[in-house]
Structure 1
């Protein structure tokens, strides 16, 4: 597994570990691009807290900031880091499948011969 892929996956998993950040991502997925103020109106959290979470999500690459009129910043989802995290998990699962199947076969052999 490439080190850069693992680093991106780690940032994504860190970002997704917080339920508030997952809520922000869900709100953006459901409603499209939004400002921190827009998100604060939809979620039970202050605009300042939303802004802090958005900064971490942007650092992880999960959202991108688009500067608009009157200094308003709208945040839009980015799927690329999530896809890297999915690939990381898929590779991990493939690495586990062989040893787990061998263990299952070994244990099944022990129970049928007992």
Structure 2
């Protein structure tokens, strides 16, 4: 969190985050054109934001696209805000809605665990329910196999889809059709990619939710920060988060 607060303490870096808030997935050239700074200066600030986890980078051919990663903001909320007052929750919910405007969302988090244990936490139904709002995912976890997300409080499945790529313990690509509401179901099929990379004694987990329609409702993808924070908390401490939204069924 020290890196996050240090990164947020600079007005230029906050301006870069604001630029990504307005238009996510920008290249370095695009961000340079919005600020009266040299290209190396913008690149240096982006590197600090990336190191703090506030910006995630995805390569598209020769270009690097920068995405606002709201997971550290979610962690600050879980650590500091909910301890003192619940009145902040509504304001942060509005901020979360403002952060989610694009066709592709990239979320990144570092977890002190092994790739094998992290893979197990993603694919084991009982573990998944501990941090995914009580919902579990069932599958054979082979390429081309189907998966189903269920919740004990729901009459039917909350989501279903296909495992396109299954490469334990580093990569899982899934097509997903959400069924927990009419608005979500109308959006059709989206794609979720889980990528696990060992970093020292930890793992960097990157979740990319793409193939989203421009009018996709926030309930379709907005819960990932809370889900990933819950995953990190459970793997590192064995405890579960009790933050607002724990009654929700899926990424909403």
**TM-score under structure 2 normalisation?**
0.32
* Selected match of 1:88 from 79, 97, 108: 79
Residue 12 of structure 1 contacts residue 85 of structure 1 at CA under 8 Å; is this kept in 2?
A: no
Structure 2: tracts of 5 or more residues without a match: 86-252
2:60 corresponds to 1:68: yes
Query: Residue 16 of structure 2 corresponds to which residue in structure 1?
Result: 24
Structure 1: tracts of 5 or more residues without a match: 1-8, 95-114
Query: Residue 37 of structure 2 corresponds to which residue in structure 1?
Result: 45
Residue 63 of structure 1 contacts residue 77 of structure 1 at CA under 8 Å; is this kept in 2?
A: yes
Query: Residue 78 of structure 1 corresponds to which residue in structure 2?
Result: 69
Query: Residue 14 of structure 1 corresponds to which residue in structure 2?
Result: 6
Structure showing greater relative contact order (alpha-carbon pairs closer than 8 Å, 6 or more residues apart): 1
Structure 1 residue 39: deviation in Å?
0.3
CA deviation profile, 1:56-85 (whole Å, cap 9, x unmatched): 11111111111112x211101111011111
After superposing on structure 2, the runs of 4+ consecutive aligned residues of structure 1 that deviate more than 3 Å are 91-94
Give the number of the structure whose residues are more often helix, by fraction.
Answer: 1
Query: Residue 3 of structure 1 corresponds to which residue in structure 2?
Result: none
Once residues 71 and 65 of structure 2 are traced to their aligned partners in structure 1, the CA distance between those partners, rounded to angstroms, is: 19
Give the number of the structure whose residues are more often strand, by fraction.
Answer: 2
Residue-pair matches, total: 85
Structure 1 residue 93: deviation in Å?
3.3
**TM-score under structure 1 normalisation?**
0.68
Other structure's SS at 2:5 match: helix
